[in-house]
Amino acid sequence: MTQDTSRERPRPDLGEASSALVRVYATEAEASRSGARSFADRALEAVAERGRFTVALSGGDTPRLMYEMLATPELARSIPWDRVHVFWGDDRGVAPDHPRSNFRMAREALLDHVDIPAANVHRIQGELPATEAARLYESELRSVFGGGPALPRFDLIHLGIGGDGHTASLFPGEPSLHESSRWVLDAIDRSHHDEPRVTFTFPVINAARAVEVLVLEPAKADVVHRVLSERGEVDVLPARGIAPTGEHVWLLSTGAARRLASAGQR
């Protein structure tokens, strides 16, 4: 049994609705394990209360270990995968078997190892032009969450952040940061050869019952500090737009938290 070495650190400066709890773990593995355990706990709670668990996964490299831990029998066997609906907060404009596909990474690390029905895996069709993929993905959201005007309310949305403060595929200076009605937009990662992207917008992210942000790399300590501790515009630091009315938790390794005042474990 791994002792939870985290310490919680409320963030009142962003106001009640968006104050984040910051949990700092001694190692990247412990932070990842906490994310995996939280996924399992939230899945059981959601299925018990609402009959299903809706979750949006993050991409990039950071969550791979967390997904691999979630796929271990210790955690996976406790989850009713036939009641779980998996989406992605964003993906790259690539084919599903491309090395940069967030869908491929999650499939390899997690989905191929659990009994989740194919119909419950709702990937972004990155092989299509991004505007069409965004339209189709929003339609799929509506088919699962109901086609009404109410925003989809995910039980859990997992996010990461980039060194420039982006989250999902919401990048600095982009109009998508201020989208207030569309649920899904096409985007461009100008820092990576203008790679096409498809992304949730902040209304969807912030409607979630819980948002968890996992940051492991020590190289991100400065951006973590700027997002969590300084005032600043979402245009400069998009991750400052994460302000869910539900739970808002940051899972950090010691390295990623080293610039936060009074960071540390119990």
Residues 109-168 that bind ligand 6PG (CB under 6 A): 160-162, 166-168
Strand partners, 200: 184
Q: Which of 103, 119, 79, 204 is nearest to 154 (CA)?
A: 204
59 in contact with ligand 6PG (CB under 6 A): yes
Q: How many whole angstroms separate alpha carbon 202 and alpha carbon 168?
A: 10
Q: How many whole angstroms separate alpha carbon 10 and alpha carbon 196?
A: 36
User: With CB under 6 A as the contact rule, which of the stretches 15-23, 58-66, 75-83, 244-252 interacts with ligand 6PG?
Assistant: 58-66
Residue number, 160 or 196, with CB nearest to ligand 6PG: 160
Q: How many whole angstroms separate alpha carbon 5 and alpha carbon 28?
A: 12
Residue number, 83 or 165, with CB nearest to ligand 6PG: 165
The binder of ligand 6PG chosen from 102, 120, 176, 253 (CB under 6 A): 102
The binder of ligand 6PG chosen from 49, 61, 97, 230 (CB under 6 A): 61
Angstrom CA distances, 176 to 54, 66, 169, 200, 212, stand at 24, 28, 9, 9, 21
In angstroms, give the least distance from the CB of 208 to ligand 6PG: 15
CB neighbourhood size of 16 (10 A): 8
Pattern of binders to ligand 6PG over 166-185, x per CB under 6 A? Answer: xxxx----------------
User: With CB under 6 A as the contact rule, which of the stretches 55-63, 120-128, 173-181, 233-241 interacts with ligand 6PG?
Assistant: 55-63
In angstroms, give the least distance from the CB of 231 to ligand 6PG: 22
Token pair in block for residue 250: 């940051």
Residues 72-101 that bind ligand 6PG (CB under 6 A): 90, 92
Residue number, 106 or 116, with CB nearest to ligand 6PG: 106
Buried residues in 181-202 as b, exposed as e (16+ CB within 10 A): eebbbbbbbeeeeebbbbbbbb
The binder of ligand 6PG chosen from 62, 101, 120, 176 (CB under 6 A): 62
In angstroms, give the least distance from the CB of 165 to ligand 6PG: 10
Q: Which of 169, 128, 116, 122 is nearest to 143 (CA)?
A: 122
The binder of ligand 6PG chosen from 19, 44, 52, 60 (CB under 6 A): 60
167, 242 contact by CB (below 8 A) = yes
Pattern of binders to ligand 6PG over 195-234, x per CB under 6 A? Answer: ----------------------------------------
SS (H, E, C) 48-79: HHHCCEEEEECCCCCCHHHHHHHCCHHHHCCC
In angstroms, give the least distance from the CB of 147 to ligand 6PG: 26
* Binding positions for ligand 6PG, rule: CB under 6 A: 58-62, 90, 92, 102, 160-162, 166-169
